Amino acid sequence: MTSIINPRLIDSFYMDNFKELKKFQIKKNKYGIVYHDDYNKYDLGVGHPLIGDKPRKTMAFLKEKSIMTELKLFTPQKVTEKDLLRVHTKEYVDLVKKLSITGGMIAKDTPAPIGIYEYASLAAGGTILSAKKLFRGFNCMINPLAGFHHASRNASSGFCFFNDIAITIEYIREKYNLKKFLVVDLDVHHSNGTQDIYYDDQTVLNISFHQDGRTLYPGTGKLDEIGGDNAKGYTINLPLPPGTSRDSYLDAFKEIIPSIATQFKPEIMIYQAGVDTHHSDPLANLLLTYQTYYHLANQIIGLSNNICKKLVVLLGGGYNSNACLISYYNVICGLLDKDQYIKEEETTDYNAEYIKNLINELKKNLADYWDII
Q: Pick the catalytic residue: 150, 190, 278, 279?
A: 150
Contacts of 330 (CB under 8 A, 6+ apart): 290, 291, 293, 294, 297, 341, 342
Closest C-alpha among 155, 154, 131, 158 to residue 142: 131
Q: Is 227 left (phi over 0), alpha (psi -120 to 50) or beta?
A: left
d(CA 122, CA 257): 31
Closest C-alpha among 104, 96, 59, 51 to residue 78: 96
> Does a cis peptide bond (omega within 30 degrees of 0) precede residue 258?
no
Strand boundaries in 55-103, DSSP class E: 72-74
Q: Does the active-site annotation cover 150?
A: yes
Closest C-alpha among 107, 76, 108, 106 to residue 93: 106
d(CA 176, CA 170): 10
For residue 12, the one-letter residue type is S
Sequence length of the chain is 373
Angle between helices 290-307 and 321-336 (to 10 degrees): 30
d(CA 143, CA 139): 14
**If residue 363 lies in a helix (H) or strand (E), which one and from where to where?**
helix 352-366
For residue 211, the one-letter residue type is Q
Active site residues: 150
